[in-house]
């Protein structure tokens, strides 16, 4: 009830206040601001990931506009010699309009990124998009080695998905999954989601994949570090990935203990609509943001 009250009140929050809260998590509206923020993290010892906020586009031209910004992002990364990936949601490239459009745009961006030495991540969204996303990734990865995927430990299907991905040059960002999914297809309690996360990472390493551990869960991180000790030969095999503005003290602890940590930097003019949508669909996320804001 409190969640739905807060969600209904969100559009009434004045823009400057919303912007102040969001500025902790979002680099700004422009690519220039985002590249500056990536440079700032780089100077502090953290490589980056750039994400243009947006999803579920309704028109092809919106998807093509996103591609133009991502191409410019790859140019900016290369010009500044930054160690930075780009990360794209499939529905931002039109997956829900036509999966062949999404494949075309990803392929164009993958080629552009490859010429500039930039890595491209295909993100994972809610379960109705999983099959199409994995199909697009499968086709893309066979042509473009600089492309990786995201898998969600919340989903029961993830173990089978790991086994059906070609292990050749596989690079996976493992996450819990930000979308609340139905009980018949997903774990719903924290501990099974954590246990599935560790099991999925171990299976991926055993299959020779590189795994990016995208979490701010300290207890889970400790379990993953034990698995890293058992199964990883070098820093080439893994890294932690974290969201800008979330649990900075934990990243610093991981980094000073010798683990690579990469920071995800979202940006874009759609920050307000995007943040409201995410917060309204996930009460845990809203709780986390409010706790951070009042701390």
Alpha helix segments (H runs only) across the chain: 2-9, 15-22, 31-43, 60-79, 99-115, 130-143, 158-164, 190-206, 218-231, 248-256, 271-281, 283-294
Contact 197, 153 (CB under 8 A): yes
* Smaller CB separation from ligand FAD, 11 or 190: 190
* Smaller CB separation from ligand FAD, 110 or 212: 212
Residue 74: which of 136, 102, 116 has the closest Cα?
A: 116
* Closest CB 176 distance from ligand FAD, rounded Å: 4
* Smaller CB separation from ligand FAD, 20 or 61: 20
* Closest CB 196 distance from ligand FAD, rounded Å: 12
* Closest CB 288 distance from ligand FAD, rounded Å: 3
Cα gap 293→110, rounded to integer Å: 37
* Smaller CB separation from ligand FAD, 61 or 160: 160
Burial bucket for residue 16 (CB in 10 Å: 0-12, 13-18, 19+): exposed
CA terminus-to-terminus distance, the chain: 23
- Residue carrying the six token digits 């440079």: 39
User: Which residues of this protein are in contact with ligand FAD, per CB under 6 A?
Assistant: 123-124, 150, 152, 175-179, 214-217, 241-243, 246-247, 264, 284-285, 288-289, 291-292
* Closest CB 166 distance from ligand FAD, rounded Å: 20
* Smaller CB separation from ligand FAD, 69 or 152: 152
Torsion sign across C-alpha atoms 254, 44, 216, 113: negative
* Closest CB 30 distance from ligand FAD, rounded Å: 21
Contact 89, 125 (CB under 8 A): yes
* Closest CB 15 distance from ligand FAD, rounded Å: 20
* Smaller CB separation from ligand FAD, 276 or 292: 292
């Amino acid at each position: 009830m409190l969640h739905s009250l807060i969600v209904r009140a969100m559009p009434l929050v004045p823009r400057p206040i919303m912007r102040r809260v969001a500025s902790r998590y979002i680099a700004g509206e422009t690519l220039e601001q985002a590249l500056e923020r990536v440079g700032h993290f780089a100077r502090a010892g953290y490589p980056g990931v750039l994400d243009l906020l947006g999803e579920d586009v309704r028109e092809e031209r919106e998807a093509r506009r996103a591609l133009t910004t991502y191409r410019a992002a790859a140019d900016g990364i290369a010009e500044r010699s930054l160690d930075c990936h780009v990360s794209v949601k499939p529905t931002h490239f039109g997956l829900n309009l036509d999966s062949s459009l999404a494949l075309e745009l990803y392929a164009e961006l993958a080629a552009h990124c490859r010429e500039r030495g930039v890595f491209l991540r295909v993100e994972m969204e809610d379960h109705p998009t999983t099959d199409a996303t994995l199909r697009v990734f499968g086709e893309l990865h066979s042509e473009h080695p600089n492309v990786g995927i995201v898998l969600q430990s919340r989903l029961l299907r993830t173990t089978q998905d790991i086994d059906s991905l070609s292990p050749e040059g596989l690079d996976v960002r493992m996450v819990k999954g930000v979308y609340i999914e139905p009980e018949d297809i997903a774990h719903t309690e924290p501990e099974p989601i954590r246990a599935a996360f560790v099991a999925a990472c171990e299976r991926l390493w055993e299959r020779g994949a590189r795994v990016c551990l995208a979490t701010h869960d300290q207890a889970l991180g400790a379990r993953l570090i034990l698995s890293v000790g058992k199964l990883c030969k070098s820093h080439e095999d893994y890294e932690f990935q974290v969201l800008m503005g979330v649990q900075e003290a934990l990243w610093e602890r991981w980094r000073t203990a010798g683990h690579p940590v990469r920071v995800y930097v979202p940006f874009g003019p759609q920050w307000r609509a995007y943040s409201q949508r995410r917060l309204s669909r996930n009460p845990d996320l809203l709780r986390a943001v409010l706790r951070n804001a009042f701390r």
